[in-house]
Structure formats: C-alpha cells, structure tokens
Structure 1
Amino acid sequence: MIEVLSGRRIYGIQLPIQAQSTYFVADWERTAGPDDLARIARVCDNNGYAYIGVCDHVALPESVANSMGTHWMDPISTLSWLAALTNRVALLTHVYVLPYRHPLVAAKQFSNLDYLSNGRAICGVGAGHVEAEFAHLGIDFHSRGKSMNTSIPVLAQALENEFVSGFGARPRPMQSPRPPIWVAGSSASAISRAARLADGWLPQGPASQDMVDALNNERQSAGRTGPFVIGHITPFLHVGTASFDVGEATITGSAQQIAERILESTPVGVNQLQVRFKAQSMTQYCEQLEAFGRDVAPLLTTI
C-alpha cells in the first residue's frame, strides 16, 4: 500500500510508450514495444519510485488524431500486466476517465487490480476532456462533472464495503479500507471535488500555490482531516549535461542543481512529485530514471 508519511515527499512517473500524444512523444517511443515498457517499470520498481502511471483514452476520433495521436494503451489491463513484472511500485491510473464507465464496473476493475498486485492500486480518476470522444461513446460531455460527483462516492463505497446496495466488488481489494482515490484536474471544480471526495489530488500539469491553497481551504471547510496526497508535475528533467538539445524549459545540471530548481518551483504543501525526463533512447531514459532515483530524489524527499 502506498503511504505518504508526514514530512516526506514521494515521486513517480507517468510511463512513456503507453500514451503517445504528438504533443510530447519522443522519437524513441514510436518504435518501442512491450519489452521496453516492462524494462522501464522494473527500473522504477528498483529505484524508489512510488508509482508508475498509465493514461486513458477509449476512442479518440480522427478529428483530434493529428494533435493527440491514437496510441493510448488501456490503463487497467496494462497495469495488471505490469503488476506481474514488478514487486513494490504502486500502479496508478493517471487518469482513468470515470464518466466513461459505470462506477460499479470501475470498482470491479480497481478491486481486481489491487487484489492481483497485492495491494498496489491507486485509483486516479478524472472527468475527461475530449468532447468528440464522449460523443463516440454516447455519453453527455456536459454532465461529466455531475457524473464524477455521484460516481466517486459509489466507487469508494464499493471498494471499502463488501456490499453496496446488494453489489459486492470481488475479489476484494488487498488494501484496507480500500485503494486510495486521487482526483485529477486543475479547474476549480476538480480541485473542490478532490478536496471533498478523494484521498489525493493530481494536477493537470504543474500545480500552483493558489491551487494548493484552494485545495487546503476546501478540505478545511469540509471538515476533512488526515493524510492527503497533493501532487505536482515537474518540468522536464535531464540529470547531468545533455549531449543534445533538450529545450530551454528542461532543467539540467548536477543533482544538487536539479533538486534546487525543482524545489523552487514546487508549491508549499506538495508531497508527491511526478517527474518526467528528456532522453534520446530507451536506454538513456532508463539511465535518467536511475540517476534521479539515486542522486536527486534523496535531496527532495524531506519536506
């Protein structure tokens, strides 16, 4: 079970290869396959990463293919496969579009993933954003927020209790009382939803201090206390001196320099960092994962 201790900060990644949006896919990812994805997952498992994440699109239409691509692996089946290849790292859907499924179907999928992985599932859920995809699936795009507000409590109850109105998600999850639910999104409504209904928050991109403050204020007004995961997505990183053009926005340098730059841009209160790397090959990407886990992460994990 993933645990964020007081005064500590965890780190993880959204896996490359599994989602190949034309906005961010690297050239080496286009020819990578399942063996490469498995290798990356194992590197994360062996280098202190708290989680590996897989995104979710069901039926991207041709109208958005040029900008978003069409290669998006299924999150539950991909993470179930990776569960068998890893031992420690948590398995995050980042994010599972909850309005696409009945909440009891979602509960069944997450419960099964948690059972098979011996308690490593994290239910990262979001409202979705591609209106044409909703249309293809016959789901009302404009009521997705309302759907989230009603589905998250059902998902939580079905995971936590053996029966919910006669329904039980079996096999039961391994985590007690249930796998954590992290809500994604950076809009005011998504932040409020995370604060009031979930166990953590995943921003859509870098978090701002205003977002974190709004989240904490919502939690306080809702009377919610206890552990809560607040995420932040870092700029692209390259540990060491890059031998290729990584772009001006990428943070490079020594471990100390990178850690300092990350901390400068991380809002107060964040206890979960999603890191991402610039690399020219799969081997170099794995080397970056190892270098970050070995040299940079120890400088970031204490808040």
Structure 2
Amino acid sequence: MSALAYGIQLPVQSQSTLYTEPWETAAGPEDLVAVARAADAAGFAYVACCDHVGVPRRLAAAMSTVWYDPVATLAHLAAVTERVRLLSHVAVVGLRHPLLTAKQYATLDHLSGGRLVLGVGAGHVREEFEVLGVDFERRGAVLDESIDALRAALGPEEFPEHHGKRYDFAGLGQRPRPAQPYVPLWVGGSSPAAVRRAALKGDGWLPQGDPRERLPAVIARLRALREEAGVEAPCTIGAITEPLYVGRPGWDVGRRTVSGPPRVLAESLRAYRAMGVDQIQVRFRSRGRTELTDQMAAFGAEVAPDL
C-alpha cells in the first residue's frame, strides 16, 4: 500500500467564515508566496485555489467577497515554486466557454512545466450563473459537457474538436499546448450526481468535506459505478481532513482539531488510507503565517514519513 499524498488549500485566497483564520484578513500576496514555497519544500503534492467570479450581497457576510482568481494565482505561484502541483479546487468551468478555460489552463500548465491538476465542480451561487448568462438549473448537464469539451481542448491536438448540445467547435488552433501529455481532471462535490460524475468522467474525486464515517460507503459507490461502466483507469480518491495541529497547542484550537505528537497525527490520518483514500487535503490551525509555515514544515518532516 503506497503512502498517502498530502496537499493544501491555500490560505488568504478564499476567506469564507467557515475556515478562515483571523490573520488572513490582513494578509496578501507575500503570504501566499511564503505558504506555497513552504508547501514546495515540505513535500506537499499540491497547493489549491478556489473559484468564484462574484459573491452576491446575500452571501457576502458568510462567504466574504475575497476569492482570488485561480488561474492568475496559480500562475503567480508557479513562478516561485519548483515541484508542487497546482490544483483548481474547484474551477466552476460551466461559467466559461471550454475554449476560454482551455486557453487559460493550458497556458498555466505550459508555464509551470506540467504541474496543473484541473479540479472542476458544478458551482452553487445562482447569481454568478445568471449574470454570465448560464442556466443555473442545468449546471450539472453543462458541467458534464464541459468536461468532455475540455478533454478535447486540453489534449495534444493544436486544433481541438468537440461537437455537443451546448458547445460546438473545430478548426480553431490553440498554442501553447499543455506541457503534460494528459492533464489530470478531478471532479469535486459529494452529491450523488457529483460522485457519479467523478466516477464516469474524472481522473480523481474531490469530496466536499465528507466526515470520515461517510467516506467508505461513498468510495465503494464510486468504484462500483466505474466498474459497471467499464472504466479501468485509476481514480485518485481524495479526502479533506479535520483541522490539524502538530504538537501540543498552547491555545484553543477547537474540539475538532486533531493535535498531538507527530505519531498521533500519523496514526489518525492513516485511517484514510485504510478506507481507500489516495490523497488528503490537510489544514492547520494557526495564528499567523509563520505558525502556519512552521506547522507545514513539521508535518512534512515528522508526520508525512509515517503516512
């Protein structure tokens, strides 16, 4: 059984009240760069960035309006890192024409030397769809076709071709091509439709923070769907962990946080591997950038070897 890979959703770039630490509200680009470099040095598999075009007033108090653009952010961080992969978690690709999405992400993959993982999801903010002229009620079907179109547009052909119900294109060349011969496409979401989409169309699954006790049944369902459909390619199964703190915290990190010596964290996280999870997205409680990067370094050096 191979070791668990581990990645991180970047701080600062999205500031929902569900997970943002107080210090992030005053943070900026230099903090993002420091965290990305810390991830690169500590063996993290990826750094991830979210996607929202605009947040309506009715949701702004909870979600905030701070959502960095994933392509711009990941491209900026590609230039200051060397090996860590760059994940959109998730890009709401139905908001944009697939050729536009392909142009942006193919360029990102080219510039980064082939480090892109394209994570996609259906989205949930109705107003974003309405203002961009996309049917919110049919966003699942739009995403399904967008994935098919992106497979073509991010493939090896300079002149990609796709003929579908919503998108139809051929004869339009796009270079540079991605550096990777095949861009991994991970599907996000935990609804039955999202799990089915991940099973049938994805190279990986990004759950929406499912609790541990729910994951085994969902993973079994995803695998059964792939088997029924005859999909033989491997699928990278993900999980989002509880908040973590390496060592004994000297402050209140919350009752859900898993803390303690590295061996305690490693033992707790190995349970994900036993469920069939391939990569975990970890998060750390912190009171500032330095505490966060110290936590990341400690995790990479003292916890990860036992995963």
Normalising TM by the smaller chain, what interval? over 0.9
Per the alignment, residue 229 of structure 2 pairs with 222
* 1:183/1:201 contact within 8 Å kept: yes
RMSD over aligned CA atoms reads 1.3
Deviation larger for 232-241 or 259-268: 259-268
Gaps of 5+ in 1: 1-5
**Alignment coverage as a number of residue pairs:** 294
- Which amino acid is the alignment partner of residue 152 of structure 1? I
- Please give the per-residue CA displacement for 1:131-175, whole angstroms capped at 9, x wherever unaligned: 232223332111000001111011011111312222333101110
Per the alignment, residue 166 of structure 1 pairs with 171
Cα distance in 2 between the residues matched to 1:7 and 1:224: 22
- Please give the per-residue CA displacement for 1:231-261, whole angstroms capped at 9, x wherever unaligned: 0000000000001100100000011111112
Match 1:175 to one of 174, 180, 190: 180
- Which amino acid is the alignment partner of residue 115 of structure 1? H
How far does residue 266 in structure 1 lie from its aligned partner after superposition?
Answer: 5.6
Question: Map of 1:143-154 to 2, 5 A cutoff?
Answer: 143-154=138-149
Question: Map of 1:208-247 to 2, 5 A cutoff?
Answer: 208-247=215-254
- Please give the per-residue CA displacement for 1:35-71, whole angstroms capped at 9, x wherever unaligned: 1110100010011000000000001111110111000
Cα distance in 1 between the residues matched to 2:204 and 2:273: 17
Per the alignment, residue 3 of structure 1 pairs with none
Per the alignment, residue 291 of structure 1 pairs with 298
Indicate the SS of the match to 1:142. coil
Per the alignment, residue 84 of structure 2 pairs with 89
* 2:94/2:143 contact within 8 Å kept: yes
Per the alignment, residue 198 of structure 1 pairs with 202
Cα distance in 2 between the residues matched to 1:214 and 1:230: 12
Indicate the SS of the match to 1:128. coil
Cα distance in 1 between the residues matched to 2:33 and 2:244: 22
Gaps of 5+ in 2: 162-169
How far does residue 84 in structure 1 lie from its aligned partner after superposition?
Answer: 0.4
- Which amino acid is the alignment partner of residue 205 of structure 2? W
Mark the CA change 1:266 to 1:234 in structure 2 (over 3 Å): closer, same or farther.
Answer: farther
Question: Map of 1:1-303 to 2, 5 A cutoff?
Answer: 7-162=2-157, 163=159, 164=161, 165-176=170-181, 178-206=182-210, 208-264=215-271, 268-300=275-307
Indicate the SS of the match to 2:137. helix
Cα distance in 2 between the residues matched to 1:226 and 1:54: 26
Per the alignment, residue 166 of structure 2 pairs with none
- Please give the per-residue CA displacement for 1:248-288, whole angstroms capped at 9, x wherever unaligned: 00000011111112233566111011000001111000000
Scaled by the length of structure 1, the TM-score of the pair is 0.94
Cα distance in 1 between the residues matched to 2:230 and 2:271: 30
Cα distance in 2 between the residues matched to 1:272 and 1:293: 14
Mark the CA change 1:250 to 1:266 in structure 2 (over 3 Å): closer, same or farther.
Answer: farther
Identity over aligned pairs, percent: 48
* 1:115/1:174 contact within 8 Å kept: yes
Cα distance in 2 between the residues matched to 1:158 and 1:166: 11
- Please give the per-residue CA displacement for 1:18-40, whole angstroms capped at 9, x wherever unaligned: 00012211111011111111010
How far does residue 17 in structure 1 lie from its aligned partner after superposition?
Answer: 0.4
- Which amino acid is the alignment partner of residue 188 of structure 1? P
The structure 1 segments of at least 4 consecutive aligned residues displaced by more than 3 Å after TM superposition are: 264-267
Indicate the SS of the match to 2:244. strand
* 2:4/2:273 contact within 8 Å kept: no
Cα distance in 2 between the residues matched to 1:188 and 1:292: 33
Cα distance in 1 between the residues matched to 2:87 and 2:172: 25
How far does residue 227 in structure 1 lie from its aligned partner after superposition?
Answer: 2.4
- Which amino acid is the alignment partner of residue 191 of structure 1? V
Indicate the SS of the match to 2:150. helix
Cα distance in 1 between the residues matched to 2:273 and 2:59: 32
